[in-house]
């Protein structure tokens, strides 16, 4: 029977997750240089449209139709075939069409996360091909394997809202793209608008409540703990990042504060509905410290991940998935498992193996895919286009009319 409260909440959660993609565009747009604001923002907004087309055509079906214990689903629900307006989702509380829309918003933002790594270096044509292939051959199989009753779900792997499915895969795909595309000509570029970064960060934090709490796909006590765990972890990570950066650089940095909050949000994502509140504080603190260390490592290694996608999302997703294997408790969520400190050694091992496999596959597939795309169309723009800026060179537009009063 339709649960109107859960249905209304899920529509709100769906809207919140949708808002995260424009929020990401603002976040990345503010961090980009003045000549590349539109070039990075269009990649997020394009995903809103094109991913919806793919999801409607066959994405939802490949993720959530058939294929029990497999890598992919089937095409039985292609073009949403057979999903009647009154057909209920498997929990019996919301219409399946609401679940279709909710999961579509996850599919939209996941590949958009990767774009911050190769800002101002990749052609839009190659990005469109990348977006399409990466969705189909990386995102869809991991959604099915973890959330669609596939291989990893059957094995007992858990991921409440996307530590493996979203952040680990996107973060390590970002690192692979950096290795293939190479460094920017001008690596000393600075953010064009830190206030725009703050707006984007605020929208992401706001939307993340729908991202994590909505993943319960109902309104109950798990929804509530996922919501609060999300905020607590993000807050502790924010403060941890600010403190360690302040100690190292003798100044508290606003961009660091904002980046720390995103690290905390990414890290708590797989854990949100499975761990006690006290664990969320520890997870957030670990996120702030370890993701900060990952960004410093990236800098020392001279990996030109321009907007720290690997250090924040990749490392955050891996860390959160492993810490879920430590802190998960069936006392919090009977549908989960007990982590290492509650006697669940085998569950911990499964989490580690699963996230290593996901990260390695995303990295290797992305690197090979970049090579193949380059045979179709050049992946990297020319030095002249990079110097000119992608806003003008590729899109014929400027973010700001500098001649206007």
Compute the radius of gyration of the chain from its Cα atoms: 20
Residues 47, 48, 49: CA angle, nearest 5 degrees: 90
Q: Which two tokens stand for residue 306?
A: 């321009």
Contact 226, 273 (CB under 8 A): yes
pLDDT of residue 400: 86
Pick from 401, 46, 399: nearest CA to 191? 399
- What is residue 217's three-state secondary structure? coil
**Cβ(138)–Cβ(166) below 8 Å:** no
pLDDT in tens, the chain (405 residues): 899 999 999 999 999 999 999 999 999 999 998 899 999 999 999 999 999 999 999 999 999 999 999 999 999 999 999 999 999 999 999 999 999 999 999 999 999 999 999 988 999 999 999 999 999 999 999 999 999 999 999 999 999 999 999 999 999 999 999 999 998 887 767 889 999 999 999 999 999 999 999 999 999 999 999 999 999 999 999 999 999 999 999 999 999 999 999 999 999 999 999 999 999 999 999 999 999 999 999 999 999 998 899 999 999 999 999 999 999 999 999 999 999 999 999 999 999 999 999 999 999 999 999 999 999 999 999 999 999 999 999 999 999 877 654
The predicted model scores a pTM of 0.96
Residue 173's closest CA among 333, 19, 358, 8? 358
Dihedral in degrees, nearest 10, Cα atoms 294, 297, 298, 302: 180
The Cα–Cα gap between 216 and 274 comes to: 10
CATH number given to 4-380: 1.10.3430.10
Q: What is the pLDDT, as a whole number, of residue 1?
A: 81
Residue 198 tokens, joined: 């703050």
- DSSP H helical segments within 250-344, as ranges? 254-268, 277-301, 309, 315-327
Q: How far is CA 127 from CA 241, 286, 309, 372, 395, in A?
A: 32, 33, 16, 13, 14
The per-residue DSSP string of 60-95 comes to HHHHHSS-TTSSS--STTGGGTT--TTPBPTTSSSB
């Amino acid at each position: 029977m339709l649960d109107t409260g859960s249905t209304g909440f899920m529509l709100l959660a769906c809207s919140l997750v949708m808002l995260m993609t424009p929020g990401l565009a603002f976040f990345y747009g503010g961090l980009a240089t003045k000549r590349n604001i539109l070039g990075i923002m269009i990649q997020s907004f394009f995903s809103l449209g094109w991913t919806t087309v793919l999801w409607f055509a066959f994405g939802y079906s490949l993720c959530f139709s058939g294929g029990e214990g497999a890598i992919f689903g089937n095409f039985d629900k292609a073009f949403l075939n057979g999903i009647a307006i009154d057909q209920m989702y498997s929990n019996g509380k919301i219409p399946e069409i609401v679940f279709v829309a909710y999961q579509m918003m996850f599919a939209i933002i996941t590949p958009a996360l990767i774009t911050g790594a190769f800002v101002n270096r990749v052609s839009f044509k190659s990005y469109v091909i990348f977006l399409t292939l990466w969705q189909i051959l990386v995102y869809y199989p991991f959604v099915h394997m973890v959330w669609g009753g596939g291989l990893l779900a059957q094995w007992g792997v858990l991921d409440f809202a996307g530590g493996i499915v979203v952040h680990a895969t996107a973060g390590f795909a970002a690192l692979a793209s950096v290795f293939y595309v190479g460094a920017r000509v001008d690596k000393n570029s600075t953010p064009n608008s830190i206030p725009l970064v703050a707006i984007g960060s605020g929208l992401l934090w706001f939307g993340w409540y729908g991202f994590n709490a909505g993943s319960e796909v109902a309104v109950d006590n798990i929804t509530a703990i996922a919501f609060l765990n999300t905020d607590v972890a993000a807050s502790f990570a924010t403060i941890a990042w600010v403190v360690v950066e302040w100690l190292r650089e003798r100044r508290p940095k606003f961009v660091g504060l904002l980046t720390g909050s995103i690290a905390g949000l990414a890290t708590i994502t797989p854990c949100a509905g499975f761990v006690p509140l006290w664990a969320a504080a520890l997870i957030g603190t670990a996120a702030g410290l370890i993701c900060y260390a990952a960004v410093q490592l990236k800098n020392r290694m001279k990996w030109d991940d321009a907007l720290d996608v690997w250090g924040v999302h990749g490392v955050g997703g891996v860390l959160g998935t492993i810490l879920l294997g430590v802190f998960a408790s069936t006392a919090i969520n009977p549908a989960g498992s007990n982590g290492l400190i509650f006697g669940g050694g085998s569950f911990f091992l499964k989490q580690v193996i699963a996230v290593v496999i996901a990260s390695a596959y995303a990295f290797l597939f992305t690197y090979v895919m970049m090579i193949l795309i380059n045979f179709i169309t050049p992946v990297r723009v020319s030095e002249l286009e990079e110097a000119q800026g992608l806003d003008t060179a590729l899109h014929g537009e400027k973010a700001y009319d500098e001649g206007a009063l």
